[in-house]
Chain A
Amino acid sequence: MTPYWDEEEPEEDAAGTMVRPYTITHGRTAPERDDFSLITVLTTAGEPLDEHGVPLRAGRLQPEHRMILDRCRRPAAVAEVAAGLDLPVSVTKILLADLVGQGLLLARAPLTVARASGGADMGLLAAVRDGLRRL
C-alpha cells in the first residue's frame, strides 16, 4: 500500500529533487484520504476538541505541520499553502490530511460548479459578477 523510501539511500536521478519532499512525509506519497482539491479552503481549528469534547493537544508535529497551522489561522486554499511551503501540491495534501485527521485543521470543499452536475447556480454567478465589477 503506502510505499516507504529507504531513507539511508536517497535516490538521485533525473527526478532527484522529488526525493526530499517525500522525506517530509516519511515516504508517504498519497494522503490518507483524497478529498482535498487545489481550492479546498483550510482553517486552523480555534479550540480543537476530540469526539468527546475534550480539548485536543497537538501531537508530535513537524515544522511543516506547525507552519501550516500558523498559515491557516486565516483561511487559505491548498494551493496557497503549497506555495507558501514551497512544496508540491501532492506532498502538501499529505501534511494537510494529517492535521485534518487530528482535528487541528478544518477543511471546506469547493463549491460544485461542474457542467455535468448542472453548472454553477445563478446566485453564485451573480455574486462573482458583483465582486468582479468592484475590481
Chain B
Amino acid sequence: MTTSQTAPAAVKILVAGGFGVGKTTLVGAVSEVAPLRTEEYLTKASVGVDDLAGIGQKDTTTVALDFGRITVSPELVVYLFGTPGQERFWFMWNDLVNGALGGVVIADTRRLDTSFASIDFFESRDIPFVVAINCFHGHNTRTAEEIRAALDLDPHVPLLIGDVRLRPFGRDVLLALVDHLMSLPAAAG
C-alpha cells in the first residue's frame, strides 16, 4: 500500500483490568485528548474478518473501548487502549491485542480477582505488563508483598500503588512499563 513518509508512526499500550477499576480514568489522566470511544463487532465463534458474513446473527457481540493518545515526538505517537472490563470478548479482538508494546493491568485491592483474567491473558500472549494498584476508592491497607502473593505475580513484574486520577502516577506506571520492556532480553538484542 502507498506509505506516507510524513505521518508519525504509532505504537499502542493496552490498559486492562476488572470492571470499574479505573482503566478509562488512567487513560484520561495521561492522554493529551479526552478519551475517545470506538467499537468493533466480534463474532463469538471466530473473529476473522472473513467470518463477518455472519453479522446480524446472534453470535455477534459489540465490544467498545476507550482510548487516548500521547504524542511522544513529531515522528511517534503512543495510543493507550482501555480494554472493556467485564467484557471477556476483547480477548478475541486480534487487531487490538496483536502488536501491543505492552500492557498495564489495573487492580483494586478490594476485589483483586476481577483482574486475574487480564494477567492470565497478557502472560499467555507473551505481552509484557506492569500492575497498577488503584487506590481512588480509599486507602489501601495491603502491602505490595501481600498483593503480589494474592495476584500470584512473577517477581520481575513491576507493581505500583497509587491513584490513577493523577497524571504523575499514570506517567510513572507507563515509565515502569517502558523500563520493564528495556530490561527484557529480546529488547536488548
- Is A110 a contact partner of B11 (Cβ separation < 8 A)? yes
The complex places the Cα of A45 from the Cα of B181 at a distance, in Å, of 35
Separation of A80 and B12 alpha carbons in the complex (Å): 13
Instruction: Tell me whether B38 and A106 are in contact (CB under 8 A).
Output: no
Task: Determine whether the beta carbon of B78 is less than 8 Å from that of A15.
Answer: no
Do A110 and B12 touch across chains, with their CB atoms under 8 A apart?
yes
- A112 and B99 in contact, given A79-B67, A122-B182 (Cβ under 8 angstroms): yes
Nearest Cβ on chain A to B118's Cβ, whole angstroms: 17
Q: Which of B83-139 contact A (CB under 8 A)?
A: 95-96, 98-101, 126-128
Across-interface contacts of B143 in A (CB, < 8 A):
none
A116-B126, A128-B78 as given contacts; A79 in contact with B72, CB under 8 Å: no
Q: Please, could you name 8 A-B residue pairs with CB atoms under 8 Å apart, sorted by A?
A: A30-B49, A37-B95, A77-B10, A82-B38, A115-B127, A127-B72, A127-B76, A131-B71
> A107, B2: Cβ atoms under 8 Å?
yes
Known A41-B77, A110-B99; judge A88-B3 contact (CB<8 A): no
B45 within 8 A of A: no
Q: Are A107 and B3 in contact (CB under 8 A)?
A: yes
Binding site for B on A (CB under 8 A): 3, 11, 13-19, 22, 29-31, 33-35, 37-43, 45, 75, 77, 79-80, 82-84, 88-90, 100, 103, 106-116, 118-122, 124-133, 135
Q: How far is the CB of A30 from chain B (nearest CB, A)?
A: 5
Q: Which parts of B11-63 form the interface with A (CB within 8 Å)?
A: 11-12, 30, 36-41, 49-50, 52-53, 55-58, 60, 62
Contact A114 B49, CB 8 Å, known A33-B1, A83-B37? no
* Cross-chain contact B182 with A132 (CB below 8 angstroms): no
Do the beta carbons of B9 and A11 come within 8 Å of each other?
no
Residue among B8, B12, B60, B95 facing the most chain A CB atoms (10 A cut-off): B95
Who on chain A is nearest to B168 by CB? Answer: A135
> Given that A15-B55, A120-B187, A132-B70 are known contacts, is A89 also in contact with B10, CB under 8 Å in the complex?
no
Query: Which of A38, A107, A112, A128 is within 8 Å of B1, CB to CB?
Result: A107
A88 & B41 in contact (Cβ 8 Å cutoff): yes
**Residue of B at shortest CB range from A115?**
B126
B38: A residues at CB distance < 8 A: 79, 82-83, 88-89
* Chain B residues with CB below 8 A from A109, complex form: 3
Q: How far is the CB of A61 from chain B (nearest CB, A)?
A: 18
Nearest-Cβ distance from residue A9 to partner chain B, whole angstroms: 12
Q: What residues on A are CB-neighbors of B12 within 8 Å? A: 38-39, 110
Instruction: Write out, one digit per residue, whether chain B residues 155-189 have a CB within 8 A of any chain A CB (1) or not (0).
Output: 00000000000010011001100110110101111
- CB-based contact B7/A89 at 8 Å: no
A34 surroundings in chain B (CB, below 8 A)? 49
Docked CA distance A108–B1 (Å): 9
**Complex interface: chain B residues within 8 A of A107 (CB):** 1-4
Query: Are A119 and B40 closer than 8 Å at their CB atoms?
Result: no
B141 within 8 Å of A (CB atoms): no
Give the residue of B2, B3, B100, B174 whose beta carbon is less than 8 angstroms from that of A113: B100
